[in-house]
Amino acid sequence: MSTIFILIIFAFVVALALLVLKADAGRDILVKIAAAVIAAGSIWTAVEFFRSGEDTVNIAMHSAESVISYAMLAIEVILALVVIFLGIKHKKYLASVLAAIQAPFTVWFELTKAHHIEVENNVSIDRLSIIMILIVGIVGSLITVYALGYMKDFQHHQGGPDRRPLFFFLMFTFLSAMFGLVVSNNLLWMFFFWEITTLCSFFLIGFTRTEEAVNNSFRQLVLNLIGGLSFLTGIIVLGSFYGTIELSTLVTLGVQGYGALMVVPTMFLALAGLTKAAQMPFHSWLLGAMVAPTPTSALLHSSTMVKAGVFLILKLAPCLGFNMAGIMVMLIGGITFLLASFAAISQSNGKRVLAYSTIANLGLIVICGGVGATGAVWAGIMLLIFHAITKSLMFLCVGTAEHQIGSRDIEDMDGLFGRLPRLASFMMIGIAGMFLAPLGMLISKWAAMTSFIDSGNFFLVAVICFGSAATAFYWTKWLGKLSAIVAARENIESGVNKEETFVHGALVAMEIVICLIFPFVSKIFVIPYIEGVWGVSNLAATLSSNNMIIMCVMLAVLLILILLFYGKTNKKIVPIYMAGANTGDNLTYMGSMQTEMTQSLRNWYMEKYFGEKKMNMLGLASTITILGVAFAIAIGTIITMMSVMGGGF
């Protein structure tokens, strides 16, 4: 399994090379070669894993453990000093304070308690890790290729100094950190990579250096530093009271029925996951992140970084369920899914709709992890896979549309099927993938609802029903805009960069293929992972194999019909009816006072009922209350434990 270490190192070396490489031609070649190598390497890592014949491949690394740990600690201290400096420079003192608190505690714990804790396996690779490696390696690599064309247009429109070397350095550094994060079993190592992703996000959100971008980047930094402090606290509690800093040990104790005993460190780690996954009350950082260039939104804030949060919660699922940690996670995920879905109804900005949709769908995955049952975890992992591909496609399509038509507003996408027919088709497939049968997201939601019913969580059944209804509402509005044919629109598809078109097509193909083979994905990846973690055998998927096969057959028939009849029609072109006399251009008509009127089709956004401010206030109030109650109990438990142990660590 040496390939994973090569991926981590290779991605970072490429990042350093791109930082000093200024020429467009050289950057294009290096990014494309690196993307191909990383994608191939992630696939080969999966091949190596399955050839091992093991459910989990553990790697001790005892000989290099001390060197790596001290190097990570030194880098963390340097980065903390950078954050403190930047916080003071920009007068964002809370970021400086949080970094100043986190760094000393990290140094103290690593040089004292952690130094005496034996870590059996620093790296652990299982099927869930392999799924994440494939998402990061394939989807992430495609996004970096897309960024080549996008950032050329971005630089042309923005002007000023060319800072693309920094942009690509951050993108590939992020890929390197994500590979390290998903295979780290040593929680201190995971914490190191966790914080690297936070800093990459910080610099990318503030990439344009406008006042709004800087403010939003610091909001992300502050909220994720709070999550980082929670992560560190969980590690300290786990190491000090239970003598371990291995994630696998925590999970094993949860499976063996010690979940109540491990509830305090689990709560702190879960809070870190909720923060990274942009769940209420921390979700505002993801909304603010939409000021970043579109490849950033697709890579960090849709398919990978936020997935690190739900990845951790799905890993912790055996320790959750009907205990304080599990109830906290379920309630926050449920409230976030419901209210973010409602808030998306009131938005016309395409990226903001995608942001709220991302927050909502991450909330649904969080619920699945919080339930802590095998069926719910199956649904959560499938949601993770489908969402990563589909939402990346949607973000990238919106970015391309914005460059071509000068707007990301849904209301400006009238006639997009005429101006950008290929792009509009890709977007329509992406939207269909989010909420229509027989595509993946709807299948996964069906499975999630089935698991909630089976586990007796009828409150969560109501949440998923109402949230999914809201989801259908806002996706249908957008789909209707795209599919409308407006006459006299010039085709401007030739202006789209070939890299962007290639990546759009590749993601569409991935979405369709994954939907066609998801029973295979379930059988090879998901079910064996759950069986290995929970120690059960012959586990059945939440959906029966017959139902999964029926869904795949439906999709196959749909594809065949499209291939057979696409473009074959006996259409008759007639003037469009406009409730008035068509002036002949199919765009204007004569009104009742013989006044020329321009036709207009507008959606209803129901701001009065589902306004963003109203949904956010309700979400903040309810989730802060839940966290306050949960952590008051957790802190009381820690104080009790300390008094039993003699008043201290």
Assess whether pLDDT exceeds 90 at residue 110: yes
In this structure, of 8-22, 377-391, 426-440, the range with the lowest mean pLDDT score is 426-440
Give residue 415's pLDDT. Answer: 77
Mean pLDDT of 249-277: 87
pLDDT tens sequence across 31-40: 999 999 999 9
Mean pLDDT of 494-501: 87
Per-residue confidence band for 488, with pLDDT thresholds at 50, 70 and 90:
low
Per-residue confidence band for 645, with pLDDT thresholds at 50, 70 and 90:
low
Amino acid at 416: L
In this structure, of 75-79, 308-312, 635-639, the range with the lowest mean pLDDT score is 635-639
Assess whether pLDDT exceeds 80 at residue 87: yes
**Does residue 611 or residue 565 have the better pLDDT?**
611
Give residue 528's pLDDT. Answer: 92
Mean pLDDT of 274-302: 91
pLDDT tens sequence across 130-170: 999 999 999 999 999 999 999 998 888 777 788 999 999 99
Mean pLDDT of 256-284: 88
Give residue 413's pLDDT. Answer: 87
The number of residues making up the chain comes to: 649
Q: Please, what's the b/e burial string for 334-344 (b: 16 or more CB within 10 A of its CB; e: otherwise)?
A: bbbbbbbbbbb
Q: Find out whether 220 and 212 touch, Cβ atoms under 8 Å.
A: no
pLDDT tens sequence across 550-562: 777 777 777 787 7
Give dist(CA 437, CA 31) in Å, integer. 36
Assess whether pLDDT exceeds 50 at residue 184: yes
Give residue 552's pLDDT. Answer: 75
Question: Contacts for 168-171 with beta carbons within 8 Å, 24 or more apart?
Answer: 168/15, 168/18, 168/19, 168/27, 168/31, 168/144, 169/15, 169/16, 169/18, 169/19, 170/15, 170/200, 170/203, 170/204, 171/15, 171/143, 171/144, 171/147, 171/200, 171/204, 171/295, 171/296, 171/299
pLDDT tens sequence across 453-477: 887 888 899 999 999 999 999 999 8
Assess whether pLDDT exceeds 80 at residue 568: no
| Interstrand relation of 581-582 and 588-590 (parallel, antiparallel or unpaired) | antiparallel
Torsion of CA 355, 270, 195, 216, to 10 degrees: 30
Q: Find out whether 83 and 221 touch, Cβ atoms under 8 Å.
A: yes
List, as one string, the DSSP characters of 13-36.
HHHHHHHH---HHHHHHHHHHHHH
Assess whether pLDDT exceeds 60 at residue 647: no
DSSP 8-state class, residue 124: E
Mean pLDDT of 67-78: 95
**Does residue 590 or residue 376 have the better pLDDT?**
376
Give dist(CA 140, CA 143) in Å, integer. 5
Assess whether pLDDT exceeds 90 at residue 384: yes
pLDDT tens sequence across 406-448: 889 998 887 788 888 899 999 999 998 888 777 778 888 888 8
- Look over the chain and give the mean of its residue pLDDT values, rounded to a whole number: 89
How much of the chain exceeds pLDDT 70, in percent? 95
As to burial, measured by CB atoms within 10 angstroms (0-12 exposed, 13-18 middle, 19+ buried), residue 609 is exposed
**Does residue 540 or residue 429 have the better pLDDT?**
429
Per-residue confidence band for 504, with pLDDT thresholds at 50, 70 and 90:
very high
Give me 396's structure tokens.
């990238």
Phi, psi of 15 (to 5 degrees): -60, -45
Assess whether pLDDT exceeds 60 at residue 649: no
Give dist(CA 144, CA 586) in Å, integer. 41
Give residue 259's pLDDT. Answer: 61
**Does residue 544 or residue 215 have the better pLDDT?**
215
For residue 534, give the H/E element and its range. Answer: helix 527-534
Give residue 15's pLDDT. Answer: 97
Give residue 305's pLDDT. Answer: 86
pLDDT tens sequence across 43-62: 999 999 999 989 899 998 88
Give residue 352's pLDDT. Answer: 93
Q: Find out whether 448 and 401 touch, Cβ atoms under 8 Å.
A: no
